[in-house]
């Protein structure tokens, strides 16, 4: 009973023995056709991306899209121990091929070791390390900056319009009060018009 419990407790830590090990270069790709288990190893020493994007391009549909992987400081000579697995984040079909994308959060360890998808008969599978595309994030940042600038400029124009309007009202009120206090400054024609207007209103 104790032996069974011991085995069950270590089930997630599976040791995979393989016949072939492939080296994947930074932002590079490789092709294999193994119908038996194999590994792909990526040296992450010079990779500064927080996420490592790996794409498997298969020629046939595969039901199992799970990848067993591990980060380790030692190169796996004959096999590797894995206690992680990851399902493809998205599958894209193109020209009769399926691209399965995996995004791994970078962990401690020099090497990212992947348990390759096993090829079907007469099938070749491509493995690619792709640089993360930050185009969408850059576009969002640029749009946000433009929106903020637009809002600031809008507030400046609105503030300037309100200020000018207010200044005109103040100057108009000041001019009216000044003329009322100094009627001698008003031209004779304006006085006659004003007197005629007042007389008409009185007659009414």
Q: Is the pLDDT of residue 202 over 80?
A: no
The predicted model gives 36-53 an average pLDDT of: 93
What pLDDT is attached to residue 193?
52
User: Which pLDDT value is given to residue 135?
Assistant: 59
| 27 against 172, higher pLDDT | 27
State the pLDDT at residue 112: 95
Position 197 pLDDT exceeds 60? no
Are 91 and 98 within 8 A, CB to CB?
yes
Highest mean pLDDT among 168-172, 185-189, 198-202: 168-172
What architecture is domain 2-133? Sandwich (2.60)
pLDDT reported for residue 178: 57
Domain-by-domain residue ranges, the chain? Answer: 2-133, 137-203
| DSSP conformation class of 108 | S
- Tell me which of 6 and 172 has the higher pLDDT: 172
Contact indicator for 53, 130 with CB cutoff of 8 Å: yes
Whole-number pLDDT of residue 204:
46
pLDDT of 3 strictly over 70: no
pLDDT, tens digit, 9 for 90 and up, residues 90-124: 788 877 789 999 999 999 999 999 999 999 999 99
DSSP states along 9-76: HTTTSEEEE-SEEEEEPTT-EEEE--SS-EEEEEE-TT---SEEEEEEEESS--S--EEEEEEESS--
């Amino acid at each position: 009973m104790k032996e069974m419990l011991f085995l069950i407790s270590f089930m997630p830590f599976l040791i995979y023995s393989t016949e072939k090990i492939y080296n994947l270069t930074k932002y590079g790709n490789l092709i294999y056709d193994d119908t038996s288990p194999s590994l792909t190893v990526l040296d992450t020493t010079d990779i500064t991306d927080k996420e490592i994007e790996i794409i498997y391009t298969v020629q046939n549909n595969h039901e199992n899209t799970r990848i067993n992987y591990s980060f380790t400081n030692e190169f796996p000579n004959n096999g590797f121990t894995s206690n992680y697995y990851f399902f493809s984040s998205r599958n894209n079909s193109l020209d009769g091929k399926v691209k399965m994308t995996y995004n791994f959060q970078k962990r401690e360890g020099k090497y990212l070791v992947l348990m390759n998808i096993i090829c079907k008969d007469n099938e070749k599978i491509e493995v690619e390390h792709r640089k993360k595309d930050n185009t969408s994030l850059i576009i969002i940042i640029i749009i946000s900056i433009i929106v903020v600038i637009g809002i600031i400029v809008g507030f400046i124009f609105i503030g300037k319009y309100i200020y000018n309007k207010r200044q005109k009202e103040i100057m108009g009120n000041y001019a009216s009060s000044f003329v009322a206090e100094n009627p001698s400054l008003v031209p004779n024609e304006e006085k006659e018009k004003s007197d005629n207007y007042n007389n008409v209103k009185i007659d009414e």
